Structure 1
Amino acid sequence: MSHSPSDQQEAGEHIAESAADSTSNHGSGPVQGHHYPAVSAFDNAHVHLGDRHSHYYAATNSHQANGTASSIADKLFFPEIFQRYETIEERYGDTLDWIFDPPEDEQPPCDSFVDWLRGGDSIYWVSGKPGSGKSTLMKYLVDKVQNGNFFGNDPPVVLCCWFWEAGQPVQHNVSGCLRSILWQLLQDPVCQPVVSKALSSLDIDKHELTEPRLRAALRSALYAVQNMSTTIVMFLDGLDECGLEGGNLLKIARALNEEFTCLKICISSRPEQVYKDAFLSNPKLLLQDLNKGDIDEYITQEFLSDPTVEKLLQGKHVNTLDDLRWSLQDKAEGVFLWVRLAVNSLLRGISHRDSLETLQERLRDLPSDLDNLYTVMLARAGSDTKYYESQAALYFELIIHKEMTLDQFAVAINESFRERCFDGQLDWDDSVLREELGGEDLAAWINVRTSGLLEVKDNHVPAFVVTSKPKDFLHMLQQRRILFEGGRYFRHALQVMR
């Protein structure tokens, strides 16, 4: 699917107009004293280059019927429904398999997720420290439950909501959660007819989507599904990201769990006291107590097996290798993200020709908490050259202000390109745009200048959402998103430093 030059120019002019309206008084960035007009270039730009819709998930779903069901789904839908899902890391290698297949000779200190899935009637609670990998685990559970055979020949309907404090209000409030769940029910080919009928009787498509009306709609939809003897498994990730709304959502979840025998709910959050008290008698797991083997696998594969590390360790006593492994394990304290960042820092040291002694000293000096670790890494990231420091500051400020896709970012940092968009002076030939916007080197450019603290990743689309995958360069950029390594934890560290 390719867009005509006129369509591309129209979309480009829209973004250029936003940039033209921006001022240089937005505020200083991580490097004190810098002011960036480009930061506000996208405050009002909801149109991607070459794509007049605000989000590709709005593409027609093959499961969605015409008529009333379609109008209801359109009203429930919002572009950010799966935005948080896209940013969540996939599991590393074969990690997390223990949740479905624990070793026979070792009982993990948690309640069996499989036993709960097949017979439990309480909410299952996944908890863990910040950065321990809760969202990655939840994403893995969604995939396995959706594609496994835990319920024999009667596959469940899997629903999920990914709360995100850094996103729009609809991404971390009750109404957004209810809209997302109802929209997903309308996408399921089995549930769609009965859910559509239930919602039509409430005239949900003709009224304002207030929270009470959405709650009534969800109860009607669940009653309709329950009469079909279909099991629904609902995953709610990051309840702690909902602020004051978290308590309300928990009450709603408990009420639904008690009312509908067809519904099983799995919730994740940090182990804050309010949730410890709420889930005291529920089946649960504490992730940092269970992922030691996963962390060890990552250290072995990504650090100790790296050719440069193997060369550095040649001829050294085996205790040296074990010391590095256990030092990383010990300082991580079950936080998978910390290990990833620490390994990146150590590999960076090796690329600078650090000796083994310097490497060990670097590891000893790494803070064991995420915020301080980011501070150290940011200081090191800015030490390459003054030129990189200035560019890295701009990139960080852009992304902390608004996470964006790669096409948006390319325009934000290219003032000349924006001006020519506005003046209608651009050649929209695909090969010309590749050269103008940095081509395939753009992701590497970002990585080098931020020392890997900003990452470019492909958007991950849930299996039940149908999208077109065009091949032209602009759409290739649209399918990639720039993220903080470590998500909201890095964002918080940057905000503290500003």
Structure 2
Amino acid sequence: MPKYLLSVLIVTLCSALPVVAGSVLAYVDLSSGRGKGYQTTSGEAKTSTEGEDTGRIQDEGSQDEGSQDERSQEKGTEAVCEIKTQERLRILMDEILLGYALSNFFSHHSAPSFFIIYAHDNSEYGKADGRTIREFIRYFEQMKAKTRSDRSQDLEGRAKHNIFDNQSCLLPKRVATDPVDKVLLCHSEVLSNYCADNAGREFMSKLKHTGKDLLDLLYHGNNDDLNTQQVGTDYQQDLKELVENRCYEAGFHHVLTELAFVELRASYDHNSTSIIPVSLRGGSKAIFKDLPYLEKTTHCLNMKHCWGPGRFQQQQKFFLTLLKRIYSGMPHVITFINDHYDTGSANIKDNLNIPIEEFRRHLRWEVSEELRRSLKHGPFEVPKRSLTDYIEPWTKGEATDQRTPDIDMPIEHDKSSSNRIPRWLLVSPDQKQKRILGLLGFPEMRYRIDELHEADSETLAWVETHPSYQKWIHNDSGMLGIRGVPGCGKSTVMKYILTKLQPQNKQTHLHLYFFFWQAGHALQSSRMGFYRALLYQLLRKVPAVGFDYWEMMDKEDRSNAPRILSLDELQTQFLAALTNACEVFRVRIFVDALDEVGHDEARKIVADLRKLNKLANRWKNPLSICYSCRYYPAIIVDNGLQIRVEECNENDIQNYVDKQLYLLEIEEAQRYELRRMILSKASGMFLYAKLIMYRLKQSFDYGYNTRELFEIVEGVPEDLANFYSAILSRALNLELDAEKWQDFIIAIMQYVAVATRPFTITEMRYALASDEMFMITGVESCESSAGFIADNSKMSYLVQKYSGGLLQVVEQEDHEGGTCSVIQPLHQTVAGYIASPNMLRGLKRQDRSLGFSDSEWVGKSHERLARCCYHYIRLEHLRWDGKTNKEILDAPFCDYAVHQWFEHVARAADYGVSQSYMNQRVGPEAGKEARVLLNHWESALGRETLRKRGLTPNPTLIDISHAFKFKV
């Protein structure tokens, strides 16, 4: 997108903003009850520069000694007043610039980069106003401008090379390193004397002529066979050698290098308008005398000289004038900043008695409110203007040539794009914001949607013609429910809608989503994960709407104590950011599988969604919400829009079954009859059809005849739990050696059912090796256990084969940015099934489930995994001596065992399973070995995690039981 168009989008946004004269910018002195009556024109408020002129009060020598005392006291009071005024003016400017920095106005990729050339103070050569320039540089840093400068005065040795590398951006663009767009050239008495010095002139002349043949070849020669990159490298090397040879000689100053480079840039690139000459004193004549190549092409910015009161505010106003010239492509943004500053500075006198922190706090709030208003108004038609309307008469009477400066042409706003998201908003967060967002995001937030298979190209076409869907799309607001029985394909429908709408409406809508998954990480099935993911997506895509969040986290960052927000804070920040977003563009939120978060949490999330839906009626742009859930918990939607999936997917299931049956070499009539039976059994449940076809294909591969295939379909239970038991039983009975793997499959399913996050294939291998059932007496390592599986490929094969497809191995992104294979249930109904002793139904070893309720079975599963973690640590902890915490936790299964051991102990106790055995294992009576084991566990866990648990170093079992809340 061309810069001028992007600039106009910014211009159009800010040009609609009213300047509010109230609140803290025209703050009322509450302590005295005085209103905001002080008004001033630019330059009338009297301040001094950083105290350098304060107290410059001349005694006029009154004859009356009493009058002199009164006058001195009055002037002293005025001096204090000026100090307070200056302090508040600095805060005013800082807060305005910081506020705009949060919106990335000046760090946006289309914002110009620029280099500031200025001379440092040098009493031998005159005045340089270096303090003023450094204050300007501080302002640029506040606003996150893409600026560079040489701020070092005394650099020797290797440091000079860094200066040269930094200065190389000023060279002609074909030989420059990361060239800047503009140059701010600050002229001064010191700079003028440097240029007049014979040694300085001679050095600059040599710089300009060094490598001239290379530059001429590059710019004026035949470049077809020229290695331009090598030419640029050679040219810079020649210049660097010259600088190195001269840097210690008399008359050398680093700023002379910059001046020579800029003259070369103007000569070869023919773009002097990108050079902005600035005179802090003395006018433009001195500039054009010292730098004559600028005279015919450039307008000079000249700050009128002023001493004493008023100088500091004059400097600030001049800085705002600089912004107009640097950011000429966004004049309305700079105008708004100017108006904001004028309103605030005009009322400074009425705010002098307000405590600084209160003044700052109210000012910060007001700046945030102004930025919110800027979002609320949004883009609107820009009236056509002539180009001269955008040109500041920078130095009336002093500009020597009215040639057009480099200003991006405004264009009339395209009404057809009035509903589009402004492109300037869709920018990437800066590095600091990305670091802060790292506290919100978590890799697992995308796992579920990534794992869901894409719908077949011939399925789900009915969704777009469904009356509820069409009405929801047409209204572009409200809630749409995707409802259905377990296994009917609600998540697939949700992903289908999201992936259809995202590319179609990416320029007009922002899409946020979260897919709950109970069998995954804890954050994947909690409100905490829900709000973290949505806030992360929103601020990652549109950082500008997160004023409150960035401000709060900036405070946290300055305190060196960044943290994960609480649930209440997350809700508040998400609502604030979403409110800002909906003032500019339309938002759709997709929430899948509400039933997988638990009934109580699901109801709270539904209440949250209803609240958002109600609030959306007040916003400028609509909010649309699409959710999926079973029929329980009951969710009543105000507009009544919902899709009952099992009532609409018959043709999709039929197409799927037809494709799969054609892979079996059977007669057409038999294929037709099998299809009829499968569709009848499935009754709208896509998962049912998939599992039946899985069994049929597996049986066909084992040589089953057609009659036996019919018997399989006929014998499929209509109840899912019974169906899963039949699948598991058949999977284990098909193989001659299956019986010996039953204990392995039972253990694996128990682990998967209660694990706090999915196990990787490697972790499962070492967990089985640490299981008491498979450990041989006297075993000293996991690898020597009878339960140890030699490699990941065999483990993956056993899981999928002997679970009958109820467990699947999928690839996921790990926390290091790579991938890993994890084990998880095929579906949420499978997760519920393996968390019950019913899964043992039909197995030869089912006697162990007798007398267990569902809750007791879950408790026993937690206890089994807790004991597994303990045995792993017992076998491995003596190898941890001398290793770092990271080296310890990188070992297979170690991270999980160390962090989740007592979590599972506590959960087992919650389900009523006694944990008194822990006294014999690691209690006071267990002896020295137990104490050593706990010390190693503590070391691997880390002091920070220990502290968060409320534990002190060297905790006992009693301490641990209190922290994790279980009895021993």
* Structure 1 and Structure 2 fold alike (TM over 0.5): yes
Q: Which residue of 2 aligns with 1:492?
A: 832
Q: What are the ranges of 5 or more consecutive residues in structure 1 without an aligned counterpart?
A: 1-61, 103-109, 426-435, 470-474
Displacement of 1:72:
3.5
1:468 positional shift: 5.0
Given the superposition, is the C-alpha separation of residues 456 and 170 from structure 1 closer, same or farther in structure 2, using an over 3 Å criterion?
closer
Identify which of 758, 761, 767 aligns with 1:406: 761
Structure 1 partner of 2:458: 94
Cα deviations by residue, 1:180-228 (Å, 9 ceiling, x for unpaired): 110111221xx11332x23124458737623332222112101221232
Task: Give 3-state SS (helix, strand or coil) of 2:467's partner.
Answer: coil
Q: Distance in 2 between matches of 1:133 and 1:395?
A: 26
Q: Secondary structure at the match of 1:245?
A: helix
CA distance in 1, matches of 2:834, 2:533: 31
Please give the secondary structure, in 2, of the residue aligned with 1:117: helix
* Residue 125 of structure 1, CA deviation: 0.6
Q: Could you tell me which residue of structure 2 aligns to residue 330 of structure 1?
A: 680
Residues 25-64 of structure 1: matches in 2 within 5 Å?
63-64=428-429
Among 187, 212, 227, the alignment partner of 2:583 is: 227
Partner in structure 1 of residue 744 of structure 2: 391
- 1:138-171: CA deviation from partner (whole Å, max 9, x where unpaired): 1222222222x2x4x7242111112233445533
Q: Which of 617, 631, 644 is matched with 1:271 structurally? A: 631
Give the conservation status (yes or no) of the 8 Å contact 2:445–2:524.
Answer: yes
SS of match in other structure, 1:458 = strand
Checking the alignment, whether the CA contact within 8 Å between 2:441 and 2:533 is kept in structure 1 is yes
User: In structure 1, what residue type is equivalent to 2:533?
Assistant: S
Amino acid at match of 2:574: L
Give the structure 2 partner of residue 348 of structure 1. 698
Question: What is the CA distance between 1:234 and its match in structure 2?
Answer: 0.6
Bigger mean CA offset, 235-244 vs 388-397? 388-397
Q: Measure, in 2, the Cα distance between the counterparts of 1:165 and 1:409.
A: 19
Give the Cα–Cα distance (whole angstroms) in 2 for the partners of residues 133 and 169 of structure 1: 23
Q: What's 1:58 paired with?
A: none
Partner of 1:481: 822
Equivalent pair of 1:75/1:205 in contact (CA under 8 Å): no
* Distance verdict in 2 for CA 1:128–1:64, change over 3 Å: same
CA distance in 1, matches of 2:521, 2:767: 21
Mapped to 2, the partners of 1:397 and 1:248 lie a distance apart of 29
Question: Structure 1 pair 437/117, CA: closer, same or farther in 2 (3 Å)?
Answer: farther
Cα deviation, 1:219-272, whole Å, max 9, x if unaligned, reads 2101221232x2211101112223212222112112212223332110110022
Structure of greater relative contact order (alpha carbons < 8 Å, 6+ residues apart): 1
**Inter-partner Cα distance in structure 2 for 1:89 and 1:451:** 19
Runs of 4+ in 1 over 6 A off after TM superposition: 422-425
8 Å CA contact 2:512–2:588 kept in 1: the answer is yes
TM-fit CA distance, 1:446:
2.8
Contact 1:163 1:238 in 2 (8 A): yes
Contact 1:239 1:268 in 2 (8 A): yes
Mapped to 1, the partners of 2:719 and 2:712 lie a distance apart of 15
Give, in whole Å, the separation in 2 of the partners of 1:404 and 1:424: 17
Q: Helix, strand or coil: the match of 1:81?
A: helix
Is 1:193 the counterpart of 2:549? The answer is: no
Match of 1:214 among 548, 551, 570: 570
Per-residue CA deviations over 1:373-428 (Å, capped at 9, x if unaligned) read: 00111111221232233333333233223322233234434569x9xxx9899xxx
Please give the alpha-carbon distance, in whole angstroms, between the structure 1 residues aligned to 2:649 and 2:639: 23
- Give the distance between the partners of 1:494 and 1:177, measured in 2 at CA: 25
User: Which amino acid in structure 2 is aligned with residue 235 of structure 1?
Assistant: F
Partner amino acid, structure 2, of 1:408: E
- Bigger shift: residues 437-446 or 212-221: 437-446
TM-score (ref. length: structure 2): 0.37
Q: Does 1:289 align with 2:638?
A: no
Q: Matches of 1:219 and 1:209 in 2, distance apart?
A: 14
Structure 1 residues 408, 324: CA separation in 2 closer, same or farther (over 3 Å shift)? same
The answer on whether the counterparts of 1:72 and 1:205 sit within 8 Å (CA) in structure 2 is: no
- Check conservation: 2:468, 2:480, Cα contact below 8 A: no
Separation in 1, partners of 2:555, 2:745: 46
Secondary structure at 1:452 match in 2: coil
Unaligned runs of at least 5 residues, structure 2: 1-426, 557-562, 784-788, 839-848, 850-968
* Residue 797 (structure 2) aligns with: 444
Q: Is the 8 A contact 1:123 1:266 kept in 2?
A: yes
How far, CA to CA, are the matches of 1:359 and 1:408 in structure 2? 37
Distance 1:204 1:132, change over 3 A: farther
Aligned-residue CA RMSD in angstroms? 3.3
Is residue 2:708 matched to residue 1:358? Answer: yes
Q: Tell me the secondary structure at the aligned position of residue 334 of structure 1.
A: coil
* Percent of matched pairs sharing the same residue: 23
Letter in 2 for 1:481: V
CA distance in 1, matches of 2:441, 2:526: 15
Equivalence for 1:141 = 497
1:412–1:175 Cα change, 3 Å: closer
* CA 1:156–1:411: 2 relative to 1, 3 Å: farther
1:165 counterpart (510, 515, 518): 518
| Secondary structure of the corresponding residue to residue 288 of structure 1 | helix
Q: Tell me, what secondary structure is at the counterpart of 1:76? A: coil
354 and 405 in structure 1: CA distance in 2 versus 1, 3 angstrom threshold: same
Relative to 1, partners in 2 of residues 1:204 and 1:77: Cα closer, same or farther, differing over 3 Å?
farther
SS at match of 2:439: helix
Which structure's CA Rg is the greater one?
A: 2
The alpha carbon displacement at 1:447 in A equals: 2.3
Contact 1:194 1:225 in 2 (8 A): yes
CA contact (8 A) 1:123 1:257 kept: yes
Alpha carbons of 1:218 and 1:204: their partners in 2 closer, same or farther (altered >3 Å)? farther
Match for residue 622 of structure 2? 262
Counterpart secondary structure, 1:492: helix
- Opposite residue 299 of structure 1, the aligned amino acid is V
Whether the 8 Å CA contact 1:128–1:134 is kept in 2: the answer is yes
Task: Tell me, yes or no, if structure 1 residue 174 matches structure 2 residue 527.
Answer: yes
* Cα distance in 2 between the residues matched to 1:167 and 1:342: 25
Instruction: Say whether 1:376 aligns with 2:717.
Output: no
Q: Which residue of 2 aligns with 1:130?
A: 486
Q: SS of the counterpart of 1:234?
A: strand
Normalising by structure 1, we get a TM-score of: 0.69
2:606 corresponds to 1:250:
yes
Report the alpha carbon displacement of residue 356 of structure 1 after superposing the two structures with TM. 1.7
Is the 8 Å Cα contact of residues 381 and 389 (structure 1) preserved in structure 2?
Answer: no
Aligned to 2:662: 305
1:335 to 1:204, Cα distance in 2 relative to 1, 3 A: farther
Q: Residues of 1 paired with 2:593 and 2:782: CA distance?
A: 45
* CA shift in 2, pair 1:88/1:327, >3 Å: same
| Match among 434, 448, 457 for residue 84 of structure 1 | 448
Pick the aligned partner of 2:431 from 38, 52, 66.
Answer: 66
| Residue pair 1:202, 1:217 contacting (<8 A) in 2 also | no
